Amino acid sequence: MNETPLYTSKRTAWNLWQEYRIYRDRLELQSWFFFHTIVVQTNEIQAVEVRPSFFIGGWKGKTLGVKIDNCDLCRHVLLTKKRGILKGIAFSPDEPEKFVGICKSIVPGR
């Protein structure tokens, strides 16, 4: 796995200095909370969307699922997987719209 990512988020205080990467066949979400990198294959992605912060969007900004950074405090991405225990994963890349756009372009069948 020595390929160049299509997108790498910058480490910021909002995302707790974690890094999120998009490759052609997978997403890698570094997580200090889980003490490892979460790998999601593109064929496992059901949906990916940008969500507002809780302060601006109210309940629409509240994300149910696993939060691997300070995602409720800023615009963030909600990734929904097709199966598994952790179906909803929320995180805050530095450019949520760009992250979602690239994700949608690599998901099979879209």
Asked whether the beta carbons of 92 and 77 are under 8 A apart, the reply is yes
**What is the per-residue pLDDT for 109?**
72
Domain assignment of residue 85, yes or no? yes
Quote the domain boundaries for residue 43: 7-106
Residue burial 14-24, b: 16+ Cβ < 10 Å; e: rest: bbbebbbbbbe
pLDDT tens digits, one per residue of 79-94:
999 988 878 999 999 9
pLDDT tens digits, one per residue of 25-46:
999 998 876 688 999 999 999 9
Domain assignment of residue 2, yes or no? no
CATH number for the domain harbouring residue 52: 2.30.29
Asked if residue 63 has pLDDT above 80, the reply is no
Domain assignment of residue 80, yes or no? yes
Domain count, the chain: 1
Domain assignment of residue 37, yes or no? yes
Domain assignment of residue 1, yes or no? no
